[in-house]
Amino acid sequence: MRESFISQRISLVYKYRETRMKRIRLLLLIILLSVLISSCNINRNSISEWYYPDWAVNARYNQSIKVMDTESALGRYALKTKEITLKDLALIHGHLCDGLVISYIQIKAVLEKLFPDGIVDRTDLRAVSKNGPCWVDAISTLTGTRTNFGTLSIQPEIGDGFIIQRISTGESYSVHLKNGLFPKELTELENKIRKAGAEKTGVNPEDIDKVEKMANNLSRKLLNSMPEEILDIKKIDKYKFEFKFETAKRGDIINKDVSR
């Protein structure tokens, strides 16, 4: 009788231990899965794609931008922030080009000055850009400025740079690449291709390959340079924002049918 009671107790203890072990294993599995899922989210933009090469992923100063927006069409400020990367921008714009990379670096550096806490309020910005596809896509995506709301002014005279203003404080900066950083040979080859297209004399496919390679080399160099060393940022006191708008011919599709 007593022996049977003892063996019953032992069996109960074993059962209890087994259940506890099962629970611990399940808990460990859940923890492991959540760590894996969160690391996948963190690394979402650390994965290269055919349109976003390894050199962009691994570039030293290629970091994301933290932004804040409203929660819905009629909503209040969202309580959480989001991160935008150069990869997101390449996806929205259609390709990763030197203009997009230069814009990203320039805009990011100014936003860091306008929002020292590191969270960019995309409801509180106005900007001036030239009428280039890469430049306008970059500034509107990263800052929330729009031509249709009069917060993105198109002014070709700004050149390859921007003026960005925080509406609530009036604080404004202009940003450009430092003189001499954009290779002369790249400008010359770009002009040669544009001229051949405009005059319909036939664009040399090899020139397109060459210009893409040169542009990628420039992007790679800039993304691995300290922003302070490559940018010319100027504070503009009492900047009076004026909205201007003009249409232009889209320049990044003119050679889409050139043979490979």
Question: Which residue ranges make up the site for Zn ion (CB under 5 A)?
Answer: 97, 99-100, 134, 252
Name the residue among 63, 121, 109 with its Cα closest to residue 87.
Answer: 63
Longest dimension (CA), the chain: 107
> Running DSSP on this structure, what letter comes out for residue 246?
-
Q: Within 13 Å of residue 61, how many CA atoms lie on the same side as its CB?
A: 19
CA distances for 37 relative to 25, 32, 45, angstroms: 18, 9, 14
Give 207 or 252: the residue with its C-beta nearer to Zn ion. 252
Give 100 or 102: the residue with its C-beta nearer to Zn ion. 100
Q: How far is the CB of 93 from Zn ion (least distance, A)?
A: 6
Give 52 or 115: the residue with its C-beta nearer to Zn ion. 52
Q: How far is the CB of 252 from Zn ion (least distance, A)?
A: 5
CA dihedral 214, 220, 224, 229 (to 10 degrees): 40
Give 5 or 50: the residue with its C-beta nearer to Zn ion. 50
**Type and span of the H or E element at 163:** strand 161-166
Helices (H) and strands (E) in the chain, counts: 8, 8
Name the residue among 245, 70, 65 with its Cα closest to residue 138.
Answer: 65
Give 143 or 219: the residue with its C-beta nearer to Zn ion. 219
Q: How far is the CB of 95 from Zn ion (least distance, A)?
A: 6
Burial call 171-206: b when 16+ CB within 10 Å, e when fewer: bbbbbbbeeebeeeebeebbeebeebeeeeeebeee
Q: How far is the CB of 242 from Zn ion (least distance, A)?
A: 26
Give 100 or 120: the residue with its C-beta nearer to Zn ion. 100
- CA dist 124 and 96 (Å) reads 27
- The phi-psi region of residue 154 (left if phi > 0; otherwise alpha if psi is between -120 and 50; otherwise beta) is beta
Separation of CA 89 from chain center: 5
Q: How far is the CB of 133 from Zn ion (least distance, A)?
A: 6
Give 133 or 144: the residue with its C-beta nearer to Zn ion. 133
Q: How far is the CB of 240 from Zn ion (least distance, A)?
A: 30
Q: How far is the CB of 249 from Zn ion (least distance, A)?
A: 14
